[in-house]
Amino acid sequence: MSTTVPKKITLRTADNHEFEVDEAVAMELGTVKTFFDENPDATDEPIPLPNVSSKCLSTIIEYCKFHLSLRARGNDSSSAEEEGKVYDEELIKTHDNESLVELILAVNYLNIKDMLDTLNQGVADRIKNKSVEYVRRFFGIENDYTPEEEAEIRAQYEWAFEGVDPDDD
């Protein structure tokens, strides 16, 4: 164990909040790591993250801290793996559709591969077996097909539209 005080890095969000985190946590963010790799002489100035809100960043930092501590316990520990899964499930559960998409955008920008994968799985699970209308509402998008065009796709891919779950919202 190193006895020196761990280096701190300051991150500044789009809404101008500053987060001071351990270097190890900051290095979990691919975008930040790349910045330091490319600028080894960077000063202690806060790193601006113009595409990330403070709400998202605090969730992301919590996630990184938690998974770092799990990894520190060693990869062979199956209880760590199980705890990680429970944490990820809880993370998905506590976000509604809109905030989940917002979080994905932030994580995608920050390039945190594992977290992005977890969140994308969460989205996939939510639109799995759901209707086309549900998918539109989920992504907040307009239908830009003519009724004829849409009917044609549905007719062409009849097998895809069997056994759809109720939308439940």
* Residues touching other proteins, count (CB under 8 A): 39
Sheet holding 18-22, edge to edge: 18-22, 8-13, 47-49
| CB nearer other proteins, residue 26 or residue 103 | 103
Q: Is residue 166 near other proteins by the rule CB under 8 A?
A: no
CA distances from 72 to 61, 68, 80, 131 (A): 16, 6, 10, 42
Query: How many alpha carbons lie under 13 Å from residue 49 in its C-beta half-sphere?
Result: 29
Q: Is residue 124 near other proteins by the rule CB under 8 A?
A: yes
Q: Is residue 17 near other proteins by the rule CB under 8 A?
A: no
Within a 10 A sphere around the Cβ of 93, how many other Cβ atoms? 9
The residue assigned the tokens 């595409």 is 51
Contact 114, 64 (CB under 8 A): no
Q: Is residue 42 near other proteins by the rule CB under 8 A?
A: no
Answer for which of 18, 82, 89, 150 binds other proteins (CB under 8 A) is 150
Answer for which of 162, 166, 167, 169 binds other proteins (CB under 8 A) is 162
- Range in contact with other proteins (rule: CB under 8 A) among 16-24, 29-37, 64-72, 151-159: 151-159
Answer for which of 10, 34, 94, 143 binds other proteins (CB under 8 A) is 143
